[in-house]
């Protein structure tokens, strides 16, 4: 009931409408243009190109003749976006609607001499594009064949890049985090990601090579390269992990990017009050007053034109040495001054950003501009700026050519530095279902005093031809940005390859391999080889699953403490509708990691969701953390946590 998301389906406006649809994820637009189409992103924000918006592209054809339908109007609407965005198909039936905030979208299509239709349930995530192929019936149908509607594919078949998305439903159903339910513990559910004392390690790279960001603003501590800002999960819409095979637009990274996308306002008033309390660690019989409570509220100041969202959460963490209190807050205003224009301002725990999204130049240019300032304590901060331009064109196939430049000013105490980078990248589809990506990046860090040349090449092939499978390969070079106190930085050469297939509905099975060579790593590591077998199902039909097994080898000049040859992960959840007003939920997170010594931990969450007087909903959960009560390798002991949330 409360956790059941409807799968994407086609809802006819007229009884005679029949529709065939499928979608693919990727970064290669499918426009077929008479002249080059220019798309511009001005991203004055973080140092890597982790995007904060997504897109929907596709092709519309006549169901009887299979000919493209030109001049059709396609309208996208979502509770996560003020107003609507629209596009018209060209002569080849191609369309694209970009700069969409993450959320679930509905497409409405109107075409002359054809029946209108609506397709809902299209999930858009940050930094990802879904591509839909639609077959619609003419106005007068004579003997049109019956067509089955298949599940929309979820694989990014047009790209070699790998990663994971942790949705809001997964954050609510599966227990992530111990002393504090921040967003970064959820990233450890992604294959190849391991939590370490200095941060998250992604696919064998040192923790210093991982960048953290919130809504596109890099919140990595410039003095230590550790995570510099935490935010409670109640304020988060989704968490994105960008891992292997990152394109030339990604800079200052030698591992991956972990990004949190926060919630926003809407046309309907919504909010909640919440409390997390971990009172006791059972083996020690010690009370732990780890508390995180607060409230959040969002809604319209003017429907479809001005939204607000705000939240406040004091977080109290008790340790043996004392009590630490942190006050987290978020405030966002979203303004839609005109059709195709969006402006938002955000303040998140002393970090500030200004975003602009808009269609310019007769809708041939899409502009995303963000200014950001990250503050780290009282004596460190980071000013960030970026510009990126993308061109869509056709020459012996379809091309997406992108180029850009960026600059960052970091300071901590008496130390400071400038960083600058520039890149050029082309994604080319010479034939159907084959995508080639090549790019080069130039970087210069004031601390190092030299310019680095970073080439990256990838290829992806949809061997099913239906967007439900891919084989890919990638080779590239990466450099991390050194912390301000040192000029030492990890250099990384990466080779990645894999095959993935959607074996049943939205269940994806994959086999992925990554090889990395390191230079100047802080712990002396020199190479990494890892193969991952995975099975994943996003939340649908009241359940979710994310399972992986990674077999790896981390080599170095001596024994490398971070080596974890065998890693098993299993995250799953199920929501059972007990009656019309009550839903019972159960979620679990299992980790088995071979190290010195082996570590096996299991966290479990059981909950009840109860509908009260409309529109109020009460959610009560109980977590058991480290159910096996194994404290090897510094794992905290068995503990219990209780949570409650009243929402509307």
- What percentage of the chain reaches a pLDDT higher than 70? 87
Q: 483 or 175, which is more confident?
A: 175
Q: What is the pLDDT of residue 634?
A: 59
| CATH number of the domain bearing residue 549 | 2.40.170.20
Q: What is the pLDDT of residue 274?
A: 97
Looking at the predicted structure, is the pLDDT value of residue 4 above 50? Answer: no
Q: 103 or 361, which is more confident?
A: 103
Q: Looking at the structure, tell me whether residues 17 and 79 fall in a common domain.
A: yes
327-371: pLDDT as tens digits: 999 999 999 998 888 999 999 998 999 988 877 777 677 778 888
Looking at the predicted structure, is the pLDDT value of residue 148 above 60? Answer: no
Residue 288 pLDDT class (50, 70, 90 cuts) = low
Calpha distance 166→242 (Å, rounded): 12
Q: For the chain, how are helix, strand and coil distributed in percent, rounded to 5?
A: 5, 60, 35
| CATH number of the domain bearing residue 18 | 2.60.40.1120
561-570: pLDDT as tens digits: 888 999 999 9
Q: Looking at the structure, tell me whether residues 229 and 276 fall in a common domain.
A: yes
Q: Looking at the structure, tell me whether residues 534 and 642 fall in a common domain.
A: yes
Tell which residue, 191, 216, 228, has the closest CA to residue 406.
216
372-405: pLDDT as tens digits: 999 998 889 999 988 777 777 778 877 878 888 8
Q: Looking at the structure, tell me whether residues 178 and 108 fall in a common domain.
A: no
Q: Looking at the structure, tell me whether residues 64 and 188 fall in a common domain.
A: no
Residue 170 pLDDT class (50, 70, 90 cuts) = very high
Give just the sign of the alpha carbon dihedral 281, 282, 283, 286: positive
Q: What is the pLDDT of residue 1?
A: 42
Tokens 């956790």 -> residue:
3
Q: Looking at the structure, tell me whether residues 195 and 307 fall in a common domain.
A: yes
Residue 47 pLDDT class (50, 70, 90 cuts) = very low
Is residue 606 one of the residues assigned to a domain? Answer: yes
Beta-carbon contacts of residue 305 (< 8 Å; ≥ 6 apart): 82, 83, 335, 336, 337
Chosen domain end from 76, 101, 136: 136
Q: What is the pLDDT of residue 349?
A: 92
Q: Looking at the structure, tell me whether residues 219 and 96 fall in a common domain.
A: no
Tokens 């904060």 -> residue:
52
Number of H helices, E strands in the chain: 2, 39
Residue 141 pLDDT class (50, 70, 90 cuts) = low
Q: Looking at the structure, tell me whether residues 45 and 172 fall in a common domain.
A: no
Is residue 395 one of the residues assigned to a domain? Answer: yes
pTM > 0.85: yes or no: yes
Q: Looking at the structure, tell me whether residues 180 and 113 fall in a common domain.
A: no
Is residue 327 one of the residues assigned to a domain? Answer: yes
Q: Looking at the structure, tell me whether residues 462 and 391 fall in a common domain.
A: yes
Residue 474 pLDDT class (50, 70, 90 cuts) = very high
Strands 37-41 and 84-88: unpaired
Domain housing 278 = 163-647
Residue 36 pLDDT class (50, 70, 90 cuts) = very low
Is residue 157 one of the residues assigned to a domain? Answer: no
Q: How many separate domains does the chain show?
A: 2
Is residue 498 one of the residues assigned to a domain? Answer: yes
Q: What is the pLDDT of residue 530?
A: 96
Q: What is the pLDDT of residue 20?
A: 30
Q: Looking at the structure, tell me whether residues 129 and 252 fall in a common domain.
A: no
From the number of C-beta atoms within 10 Å of its C-beta (0-12, 13-18, 19+), residue 192 rates as buried
Chosen domain end from 136, 154, 184: 136
Is residue 156 one of the residues assigned to a domain? Answer: no
Q: What is the mean pLDDT of the chain?
A: 84
Q: What is the pLDDT of residue 282?
A: 66
The string of DSSP codes covering 618-629 is EEEEEEEESTT-
Is residue 141 one of the residues assigned to a domain? Answer: no
Q: What is the Cα gyration radius of the chain?
A: 24
Q: Looking at the structure, tell me whether residues 110 and 193 fall in a common domain.
A: no
Is residue 269 one of the residues assigned to a domain? Answer: yes
């Amino acid at each position: 009931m409360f956790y059941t998301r409807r799968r994407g389906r086609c809802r006819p406006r007229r009884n005679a409408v029949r529709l065939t649809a499928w979608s693919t994820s990727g970064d290669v637009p499918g426009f077929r243009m008479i002249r080059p189409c220019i798309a511009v992103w001005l991203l004055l924000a973080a140092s890597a190109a982790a995007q904060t918006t997504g897109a929907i592209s596709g092709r519309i054809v006549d169901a009887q003749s299979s000919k493209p339908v030109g001049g059709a109007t396609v309208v996208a609407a979502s509770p996560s976006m003020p107003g609507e965005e629209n596009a018209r198909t060209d002569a080849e039936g191609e369309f694209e609607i970009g700069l969409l905030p993450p959320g679930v979208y509905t497409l409405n299509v109107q075409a002359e001499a054809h029946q209108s239709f609506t397709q809902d349930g299209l999930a858009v995530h940050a930094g990802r594009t879904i591509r839909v192929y639609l077959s619609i019936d003419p106005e007068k149908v004579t003997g049109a064949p019956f067509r089955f509607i298949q599940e929309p594919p979820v694989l990014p078949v047009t790209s070699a890049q790998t990663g994971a998305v942790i949705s809001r439903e997964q954050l609510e159903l599966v227990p992530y985090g111990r002393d504090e339910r921040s967003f970064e513990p959820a990233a450890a559910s992604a294959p190849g990601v391991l939590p370490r004392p200095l941060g998250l390690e992604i696919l064998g790279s040192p923790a210093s090579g991982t960048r953290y960001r919130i809504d596109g603003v890099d919140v990595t501590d410039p003095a230590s390269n550790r995570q510099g800002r935490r935010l409670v999960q109640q304020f988060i819409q989704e968490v994105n992990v960008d891992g292997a095979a990152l394109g030339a637009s990604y800079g200052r990274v030698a591992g991956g990017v972990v990004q949190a996308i926060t919630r926003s306002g809407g046309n309907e008033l919504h909010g909640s009050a919440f409390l997390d309390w971990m009172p006791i660690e059972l083996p020690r019989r010690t009370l732990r007053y780890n508390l995180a409570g607060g409230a959040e509220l969002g809604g319209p100041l003017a429907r479809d034109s001005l939204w607000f969202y705000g939240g406040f959460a004091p977080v109290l963490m008790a340790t043996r040495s004392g009590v630490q209190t942190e006050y987290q807050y978020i405030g966002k205003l979203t303004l839609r001054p005109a059709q195709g224009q969006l402006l938002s301002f955000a303040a998140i725990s002393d970090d500030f950003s200004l975003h602009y999204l808009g269609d310019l130049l007769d809708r041939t240019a899409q502009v995303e501009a963000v200014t950001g300032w990250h503050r780290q304590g009282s004596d460190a901060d980071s000013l960030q700026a970026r510009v990126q331009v993308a061109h869509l064109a056709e020459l012996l196939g379809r091309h997406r050519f992108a180029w850009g430049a960026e600059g960052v000013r970091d300071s901590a105490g008496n130390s400071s530095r400038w960083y600058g980078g520039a890149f050029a990248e082309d994604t080319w589809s010479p034939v159907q279902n084959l995508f080639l990506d090549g790019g080069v990046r130039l970087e210069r860090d004031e601390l190092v005093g030299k310019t680095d040349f970073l080439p990256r090449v990838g290829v992806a092939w949809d061997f099913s031809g239906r967007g439900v499978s891919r084989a890919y390969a990638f080779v590239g070079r990466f450099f991390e940005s050194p912390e301000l106190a040192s000029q030492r930085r990890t250099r990384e050469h990466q080779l990645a390859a894999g095959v993935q297939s959607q074996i049943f509905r939205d269940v994806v099975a994959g086999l992925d391999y990554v090889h990395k060579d390191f230079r100047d790593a802080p712990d002396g590591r020199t190479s990494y080889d890892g193969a991952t077998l995975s099975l994943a199902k996003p939340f649908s039909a009241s359940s979710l699953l994310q399972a992986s097994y990674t077999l790896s080898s981390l080599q170095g000049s001596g024994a490398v403490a971070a080596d974890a040859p065998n890693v098993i992960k299993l995250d799953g959840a199920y929501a059972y509708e007990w009656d019309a007003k009550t839903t019972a939920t159960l979620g679990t997170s299992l980790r088995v990691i071979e190290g010195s010594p082996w570590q096996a931990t299991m966290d479990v969450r059981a909950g009840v969701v109860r509908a009260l007087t409309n529109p109020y909903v009460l959610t009560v959960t109980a977590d058991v953390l480290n159910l096996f009560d194994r404290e090897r390798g510094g794992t905290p002991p068995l503990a219990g946590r209780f949570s409650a949330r009243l929402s509307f």
